[in-house]
Chains A and B, each alone.
Chain A
Amino acid sequence: SQQGEEDPQALSIQEGENATMNCSYKTSINNLQWYRQNSGRGLVHLILIRSNEREKHSGRLRVTLDTSKKSSSLLITASRAADTASYFCATSRRTTDSWGKFQFGAGTQVVVTP
């Protein structure tokens, strides 16, 4: 089963607008990451937020994490056509071993029109 579930599944906005997408998860986590995927390509890491952090910024990206609600949001401000992509959240949780398994959601497809 998918640990992370993104909402909405698809988002269409115009350049200059902000894009917000959400991720919900089910179990306790060590950290939550957001990745971006351009059509037909691999995923690229955008930002990581640890379980003891509430908010993080990177350029035009803002990520929040609410561990009590088991949810995260990704905000892209002043969107550009080049932001058109699918966005995935991935969660990582502590296991008895030192490595972490990642669980991905189904993604939010964002289309930014000029």
Chain B
Amino acid sequence: DVKVTQSSRYLVKRTGEKVFLECVQDMDHENMFWYRQDPGLGLRLIYFSYDVKMKEKGDIPEGYSVSREKKERFSLILESASTNQTSMYLCASSPWAGVSYSGANVLTFGAGSRLTVL
């Protein structure tokens, strides 16, 4: 019954390595999001995408990039991992809210990927 799948639950990488975090959803959602979660800071939005090949920066995009080549897949890329990117990364998806925004979209999250950068 899993709807948002993150490819890795735990990763350990070294400083300077390129890191790919993959996220796949099977609900045909238009919107996909990447958050990072750190103690005391809650969830902070890194990037989101509202359509294939479309992306928008969130609140903390520095040091990250994303790719959305297919509707169901949204990848987060750390070009050169640093120790301050050690965190829990959460992918989420939601349906399109509609032009009038009369609907309300709800986020469905993956289980998370805990990344440690040494």
Contacts and interface: CB of A to CB of B under 8 A. Distances in A.
Interface stretch (B13-21, B43-51, B64-72, B76-84): B43-51
B106 A33 contact: yes
Contacts of A30: 101, 104
B38 to A, nearest CB: 9
B50 A31 contact: no
Contacts of A50: 104
A96 B105 CA distance: 16
A45 B108 contact: yes
B88 to A, nearest CB: 8
A43 B109 contact: yes
Query: Which bucket holds chain A's interface residue count?
Result: 20 to 34
Contacts, number: 71
A98 B42 contact: no
Contacts of B104: 30-31, 48, 50, 92
Contact of A101 (B48, B106, B111): B48
B42 A88 contact: yes
Contact of B107 (A41, A94, A102): A102
Interface residues of B, number: 31
A41 B42 contact: no
Given A94-B101, A102-B107, A43 B90 contact: yes
A99 B106 contact: no
A90 B114 CA distance: 22
Interface of B: 4, 30-31, 33, 35, 40-45, 48, 50, 58, 90, 92, 96-99, 101, 104-112, 114
20 contacts: A31-B104, A33-B106, A33-B107, A42-B90, A42-B92, A42-B110, A42-B111, A43-B90, A43-B107, A43-B109, A45-B107, A48-B104, A50-B104, A88-B42, A88-B43, A92-B105, A98-B96, A99-B50, A99-B96, A100-B105
Interface of A: 2, 4, 30-31, 33, 35, 40-45, 48, 50, 88, 90, 92, 94, 97-107
